[in-house]
Amino acid sequence: MKIETRWFLTIVAICACTSVFAQDPTVAEAVKSGASSMTFKEFYTQGGSLMHVLSALSILGVANIIYLFATLRVGVTVPRAVFNDVLDKVRGGQFEEARKVCDYKPSPFSHIAMAALDYVKAVPDADPVMISTAMEGEGTRQVTKIQGRTQWLLDIASIAPMVGLLGTVVGMLGAFRAVGSTVASAKPVMLAEGVSLAIITTIAGLMIAIPAMAFYAWFRRSASKQAAHLENASSELLTAIVSQRTK
């Protein structure tokens, strides 16, 4: 995907993330059990500086989800028009023209096709097994890239709760220090209020981690399907190349 498109998706993600958090009434509902109803601004402010880290993670998560929805599709992994055009040209013996098509319209399938066509050009009498090996090597790299895109969501789903837990520990430490410094006037409610405010970061961390993990599971299965489509397309291309060379 072009850099301009990635920037566009990131901007859209930032806007979407801001809109969701600003308008979602469940944020206030989530903290009613430990304190009175609070606005998003109060929720964010009382969460402390770690809320900035959690906000950055949420923006990255939304941006990655939008990016995966846009790119993790059969039409992007194996563009039908490119696949048919390359296959027709290979069957017609126009290997150089087929490579130009792949070079002009890059995609995971195009890279695999170029690896095969370049090998055939470099070694005219190459054994079909060697051609298959060349395609498998490039195919492994492309599948790794496809699956690697989903790892960002797993990382976010793992980091967000830990950041929230760190905020909880810091908040509880502050509450205990407040109780210790005002022994004469300390009341249990002071400790309860401190702990409830500390839990805000844990709530925010889980609000980010749970959707990120759910989308990761979805996109992981989708990536496996894309890898299978890519393998089928590569097999058809290999068959077409071998058939043309044996005529």
**pLDDT tens digits, one per residue of 12-46:** 455 454 444 444 444 444 434 444 466 777 777 77
Q: What is the pLDDT of residues 154-197, one digit of tens each?
A: 999 999 999 998 888 887 877 777 666 655 555 565 666 667 66
DSSP class of residue 184 equals T
Phi, psi of 246 (to 5 degrees): -95, 0
Average pLDDT over the chain, rounded to whole? 80
Structural contact between residues 203 and 28, judged by C-beta atoms closer than 8 angstroms: no
Beta strands, E only, 93-219? none
- Burial environment of residue 245 by CB neighbours within 10 A (0 to 12, 13 to 18, 19 or more): middle
Helix H or strand E segment including 72: none
Closest-CA residue to 35 (of 146, 231, 197): 197
